[in-house]
Homo-oligomer: A and B are copies of this chain.
Amino acid sequence: MYYDDYTDRLVGLRKSKEIIVTDDAKRARQQILAAALALFAEKGFGKTSINDIVRASGLSKGGVYWHFASKDEIVAAIFDQFFEAQLTVLKVILMDTNLGATDKLMQLIKLSGNDLETMVSQFPSSLEFYALASHDKPLRDHLVQYFAMYQDYIEQLVMQGIADGEWKKVDPKATALTIIALFEGALLIWGVMPTAFHLSDQLENAITMLLEGLKQPN
């Protein structure tokens, strides 16, 4: 069963038996997740019922429950997908590019500014996930794992900046956290009041200041 497969993958146990997942099944799963993602973004997790998802997915109630054992499992799947997608993007810019540290940072800003529409629609979901995670151990664990990898990537960026002589010899861990905080904080505020300022301009301004310093030279 796909269900077992999925659980196993998460827990990282599956080893022994091959599971055959048909393309139809994958497609159905994806349909459900897509429907749920859109609904969560639109109405929030709490106000999206399984019935809503059923209706939007085009499947029947039993069908949805065939692919996912519970509503929580759908949420978990969505957020896996959500964060994995983000990590992939990060990875491409940070690891697969031959830019200097500063340029990579600037690249990240442009990227954040790029798919604004996608971000606008998805940001509430991530807020919701943070909120959920603060009350739910399994979700929190997922999130912590994700942040750890996020931090790891940025830490490597900082180390590259130092190694290249571009940046000062700062504490890579703490600096990574600072950079992440700046990005997440900007997103948070902008998520709440998207019309109050222009996201990528603000981010560029912020990162520039972080690089140059705010204090008067003397």
A-side binding surface: helix, strand, loop or mixed?
Answer: helix
Q: A130 touching B191 by the CB < 8 A rule? A: yes
Q: A216 touching B128 by the CB < 8 A rule? A: no
**How many copies of the polypeptide does the oligomer hold?**
4
With contacts A51-B2, A192-B147, A205-B178 taken as known, whether A166 is within 8 angstroms of B131 at the C-beta atoms is no
With contacts A131-B131, A133-B192, A215-B211 taken as known, whether A185 is within 8 angstroms of B181 at the C-beta atoms is yes
A23 within 8 A of B: no
CB-contact partner of A205 in B15, B171, B186, under 8 A: B171
With contacts A178-B209, A214-B211, A215-B167 taken as known, whether A189 is within 8 angstroms of B147 at the C-beta atoms is yes
Stretch with Cβ within 8 A of B (4 or more), from A40-48, A91-99, A111-119: A40-48
A182 within 8 A of B: yes
Q: B124 touching A192 by the CB < 8 A rule? A: no
A79 within 8 A of B: no
Complex Cα gap A28–B51 (Å): 22
A30 within 8 A of B: no
A44's nearest neighbour on chain B, judged by CB, is B135
Q: Count of A residues near B, CB < 8 Å?
A: 68
Residues from chain B with Cβ under 8 Å of A174 in the complex: 197, 202, 205-206
A169's nearest neighbour on chain B, judged by CB, is B216
Complex Cα gap A177–B58 (Å): 43
Q: B182 touching A189 by the CB < 8 A rule? A: no
A27 within 8 A of B: no
With contacts A144-B193, A168-B216 taken as known, whether A188 is within 8 angstroms of B130 at the C-beta atoms is yes
Residues from chain B with Cβ under 8 Å of A216 in the complex: 165-168
A38 within 8 A of B: no
Residues from chain B with Cβ under 8 Å of A2 in the complex: 51
Residues from chain B with Cβ under 8 Å of A135 in the complex: 42-44, 47, 124
Complex Cα gap A69–B213 (Å): 50
